[in-house]
Amino acid sequence: MEIGEEEFSIPFFKDNGFLRLRCPVCGSFYWTQNPDSRNCGDAPCQPYTFIGDPPTRARYSLDEMRDKFIGYFEAHGHTPISPYPIVARWREDVYLVGASIYNFQPYVTEGVVPPPANPLVISQPCIRLTDLDLVGPTNGRHLTIFEMGGAHAFNFPGREVYWKDETIRLHHELLTEGLGVRSEDVTYKEHFWSGGGNAGPDVEACISGLEISTLVFMKYKVEDGGLRELPIRTVDTGYGIERWTWLTQGSPSGFHPIYPEVIEEIAGEAGVKLDSRLIAESTRLSSTLNLERHEGRVEARRRLAELLNLDLRMVDEALSNMEAIYAVADHTKALAFILSEGVIPSNVEEGYLARLLARRTLRMLRRLDLGDEALLRIMELQIHRWGRTFTQLREMRSEILDALNVEAEKYRRTLKRGVEKLNRIIGQLREKGLGEMPMEVLTQLYDSHGLDPETVKELAPDIAVNPPEDFYSRIAQRHSTVKASPETVEERLKARVEGIKPTEILYYERPEIKKFKAKVLEVIDDVYVVLDRTAFYPEGGGQVADQGHLGYGDKHVRVVDVQRIGKVILHRLGDGDPSPPVGAEVVGEIDWERRLSLMRHHTATHILIGAARRLLGNHAWQAGARKEADRSRLDITHYRHLTPKEVALLEEMACNIVVQDIPVEASWMPREEAERLYGFRIYQGGAVPGKELRIIRIGEWDVEACGGTHCHSTGQVGLVKILGVEHPQDGVERLIFATGPQALRHIQEAYRILEELSGALGAPRDEMVQAVEALKEKEKALEKELSRYVKAASTRKVEELLGEAAEIDGVKLVAVDLGYIGEAEAMEISSQIARRNPYAVAILAFKEEGKGRGFGTARILVSAGEEAIRRGLNAGEVAKALAPYIRGGGGGRPYFGQAGGVDASGIPRALREAEGILREMMRG
Ligand SMILES: [Zn+2]
Ligand SMILES: [Zn+2]
């Protein structure tokens, strides 16, 4: 992106004698007060010079730096704001918060909702997985979890807070006056930033080779690849709190100031000696080399060994260990935060990202020769450390540890199965003569079988495994953005409703309206009727649409579906029903039984999610719901399968809420107020657009933003019965349930079946289980007895058949049609013949019992004795040759083969031809 020079012609630079220079190494333009400056001040153009020699007056811990940053901006008129969650439930486009500005996109930055304060300051924990592969190798420049210091000013038209000049001045003063950095050591690099759908020019502040802040002047919205100017210009600063801390400490790596205790602990457990000098030199070198490529990392280690006059193998091992320790420290903190907000490791959405981190951590631990249990100990430490500031970590401690434990267990199982799968794949590759593992196979092995490229490499030493350097970053990238937005309405209708007056909605004010009068505004394609007002609920929020009728004149037409497009509601008529003319007065009538049932089911989902949260833990979120008239389903995130006892408890809790007859209150509320009052838990059903949210509150039990129709009070729901639990995907439990009369019908049906069973068994209900057990025992005994009889009968039959066998070139051929006989018995006879006489070949045809007579299922079994095989006979080949006579297929091994076909009338011919086939085969 070409940026105009004038974007950076800022009074602060001019007034303070900054010069605009061009970096001879990277070509960037940058601002500095030092006329002798030789480069832009950022690595790799400028190597780190702060390691062991910080440019600040004092050293700060991470907590102190956060306080310093917030205190400074508060003193300069900014209101401190508490951090937002790290899981971006209010957004449709991303899963995790990757920058403080995510908190305010899109509603605040686009002017839909006012900012919580203006200007404001926040230290926001952020997670980015885009550089996952570099976390470790760059010694702390890349982290997956970090705190972004955001000082934000929102400039509305005619209401300017501050813009570029003040932003840079505030930054510079904090560095120089606040921390004592020499003014001429700071450089500001010109740049253009884009993220989260917005863009604008920015400057990157660098000291001693470290970029510590990005000051963005957000003024564009990215649209269709172009830029549109926003009415609101936003100051979006990203102060890297961890990097600022590192700068003041000059520590050997960027991880040391963040995780002093955690690094000690992991190194101690793994028996790794921490060599500060080696680490510091490696960090210095890392700033000048491109470590994104494997060659860069190899080169770094070679130079380090040379520099310190050490054995390369020793350096290699020390750095590999350090990288693993860094990654474990970083990933476990990220996991603690993600899991504390109720994300369950799984194969989809944010759960996938959690799983990616958990598995990578487990692998790093293995590299350090540490078992999975080390993960839990390290996690305890992280929860303790970060829980001081972020209390949700401590509150969710047991859920975090439990979820991780389950995930480690799942990973072990997956790996075991994956190894079997991998062996098959390796076999296939060898057969095809492929010496290299294709990328899509590697991705699939990782995604579906938990096998990372390193493990694949170990297990398949003769196959080249060459994953791209950024394998994990690519995988994370594929799963990080663009939540799926289900497109239910035909795109084409959107254009058709343009210009039509918004439909007046009757179902919110008075959900009990069954019948209403309205006027026809428009009819589209003869099937979609638009009214000026309606009480028909359109499909949305997981609730299916109302059905009913429209009456006009003497006609009565069906409404089979209702959809909402923008602010216009379309009523779809039944096939062939005549549409009313535009302008006609109609009477709408809703199928009330159906709607009542939908309201009951819908209200029950709110009751059940409240119960799940209390029973299973705060991680239990709604992962999806579908409210239908007959039965509904509710998906809940949970890392274990529900036990029958838990299901019964959920039902009891729901029943308790029902009998308390708590009012279900609906109210419209500004988004920011709803978030402030109830927190982000209101987004159970996913992100909801708009300035005002419709909040549904069931006393203290549950509060959600929801656009559906509900009962007036919980008592109207009646009975809530969970009919079954399914597992649509890992980490999600699906409750199938029914309410009110529907629930009663299911229970009545279950009782009816019980009664019938009880009658058939001749046992009272409470003795039925024992009665069935007894039956099963009896059946087992009978089966045993039967098999003894079959054996005895078969033995007689075998004698008889061998006695009648024909002699063909030294082998004994038994070719016979056994008629209707069970498969087990036929098998027994066939194998006995070959065992009793090694020269025998048994060709036994039979028709399967109960599978149609005459032109029915025909089977041929072929067994060959050892000597017969030695003479060139192959039972599988014989079966294959005979199969066409019974119009089927066949095959097998030399000692046994079988054929099956649909034409039993071909059996005699097949048996006649057998002799010829045998002779042919023995001649070779
Ligand atoms: Zn440069
Ligand atoms: Zn609802």
Q: Which ligand is nearest to the CA of 702?
A: 2
Residues 291, 238 share a domain: no
Q: Are 627 and 708 in contact (CB under 8 A)?
A: yes
Distance 676 CA to ligand 1 centre (A): 44
Cα-Cα-Cα-Cα dihedral of 347, 348, 354, 360, to 10°?
40
Q: How many CA atoms lie within 13 A of 248 on its CB side?
A: 24
- The CATH number that applies at residue 111 is 3.30.930.10
Would you state the torsion angle of the CA atoms of residues 642, 643, 644, 647, taken in this order, to the nearest 10 degrees? -40
Instruction: Please check whether residues 805 and 890 belong to one and the same domain.
Output: yes
Q: How many domains does the chain have?
A: 5
Element (H, E) at 880: helix 875-882
Cα(168)–Cα(686) distance, rounded to whole angstroms? 38
Q: Please tell me the distance between residue 290's alpha carbon and the centre of ligand 1 in angstroms.
A: 14
674 φ, ψ to 5°? Answer: -60, -45
In terms of domains, do 312 and 219 share one? no
**What pLDDT, on the 0 to 100 scale, is given for residue 97?**
94
The CA 687 to ligand 2 mean position distance, Å, reads 14
Q: Are strands 533-534 and 504-505 parallel, antiparallel or unpaired?
A: parallel
Ligand 1 mean position, distance from CA 24 (Å): 7
Residues 717 and 600: their CA atoms lie apart, in Å, by: 5
Residue with tokens 């011919």: 909
Going from the Cα of 709 to the center of ligand 2, the distance in angstroms, rounded, reads 6
Q: Is residue 840 part of a domain?
A: yes
Q: What pLDDT, on a 0 to 100 scale, did the predictor assign at position 2?
A: 61
Nearest alpha-carbon partner for 866 in 817, 795, 812: 812
Q: Which ligand is nearest to the CA of 204?
A: 1
Quote the ligand 2 centre to 586 CA distance (angstroms): 29
- Do 610 and 735 belong to one domain? yes
Q: Mind giving me the DSSP string for 486-541? A: ---S-HHHHHHHTTSPPPEE-TTT-TT--EEEEEEEEEETTTEEEESEE-PPPSBT
- 149 and 239 fall within a common domain: yes
CA R_g for the chain? 37
Q: Among the three residues 683, 715, 748, which one is the final residue of a domain in this structure?
A: 748
| Domain edge (last residue) among 249, 265, 290 | 249
Establish if 335 belongs to a structural domain.
Answer: yes
Q: Rounded to an integer, what distance in angstroms lies between the CA atom of residue 393 and that of residue 405?
A: 16
Q: Which residue carries 């098959």 as its tokens?
A: 424
What is the whole-number distance in angstroms between the Cα of residue 700 and the centre of ligand 2? 15
The torsion angles phi and psi of 5, rounded to 5 degrees, stand at: -60, -35
Same domain for 615 and 544:
no
DSSP 8-state code for residue 272: P
Residues 6+ apart with CB under 8 A from 537: 507, 543, 545, 546, 562, 595, 598, 708, 709
Q: Which CATH number belongs to the domain containing residue 681 in this structure?
A: 3.30.980.10
Contact 66, 240 (CB under 8 A): no
Query: From ligand 2's centre to the CA of 281, what distance in Å?
Result: 59
Q: Which CATH number characterizes residue 863's domain?
A: 3.10.310.40
- Tell me the CA–centroid distance for residue 260 and ligand 1, in Å: 32
Residue 753 within a domain: no
Question: Residues 462, 411: one domain?
Answer: yes
pLDDT tens, 445-459?
887 777 888 778 877
- Asked if the structure places residue 754 within a domain, the reply is no
* Dihedral sign of CA atoms 46, 52, 58, 61 in order: positive
State the distance from the centre of ligand 2 to the C-alpha of 528, rounded, in angstroms.
26
b/e burial code for range 44-83 (CB count within 10 A of at least 16 → b): bbbbbbbbeebbbeeebebeebbebbbebbeebebeebeb
Query: Does residue 917 lie within any of the structural domains?
Result: yes
576 CA to centre of ligand 1 in angstroms: 71
Instruction: Specify the CATH number for the domain of residue 555.
Output: 2.40.30.130
Asked whether residue 522 falls in the same domain as residue 612, the answer is no
pLDDT in tens, 413-443: 888 888 888 888 888 887 777 778 888 888 8
Q: Could you tell me which of 684, 703, 706 has the C-alpha nearest to residue 694?
A: 706
Domain residues for the domain of 901 are 790-923
Q: What is the pLDDT of residue 852?
A: 46
Token look-up 């924990």 returns 125
Which of 195, 214, 249 delimits the end of a domain? 249
CA of 30 relative to ligand 1 center, distance in Å: 9
Q: Give 627 Cα–ligand 2 centroid separation in angstroms.
A: 10
Classify residue 737: in a domain, yes or no. yes
pLDDT of amino acid 141: 93
Ligand 2 centroid – CA 560 distance (Å): 22
Residues of the chain falling short of pLDDT 70: 1-2, 480-492, 849-856
Residues 640, 560 share a domain: no
| Distance between CA atoms of residues 807 and 840, nearest Å | 9
pLDDT at 484: 44
Residues in the chain, total: 924
Ligand closest to the CA atom of residue 47: 1
533 is a domain residue? yes
Q: Do 384 and 416 fall within a single domain?
A: yes
Same domain, 400 and 420: yes
Query: How far apart, in Å, do the first and last CA atoms of the chain sit?
Result: 77
Q: What does the block give as tokens for 448?
A: 């579906």
Of the bound ligands, which one is closest to the alpha carbon of residue 24? 1
CA of 713 to the centre of ligand 2 (A): 13
Kindly give the distance from the C-alpha atom of residue 21 to the centroid of ligand 1, in angstroms, as a whole number: 10
| Cα 708 to ligand 2 centre (Å) | 5
Cα-to-centroid distance, 493 and ligand 2 (Å): 27
**205 and 134 co-located in one domain:** yes
Query: Are 149 and 241 a contacting pair, CB within 8 Å?
Result: yes
In this structure, is residue 492 part of a structural domain? no
H helices of 701-767, where? 740-761
Half-sphere CA count of 330, side-chain side, radius 13 A: 35
Burial of 822 (0-12, 13-18, 19+ CB in 10 A): middle
Spatial distance between the Cα atoms of 873 and 854, rounded to a whole number of angstroms? 31
* Listed residue (752, 774, 779, 746) closest to 765, CA to CA: 752
Kindly identify the ligand whose nearest atom is closest to the C-alpha of 211.
1
Eight-class DSSP state of 681: G
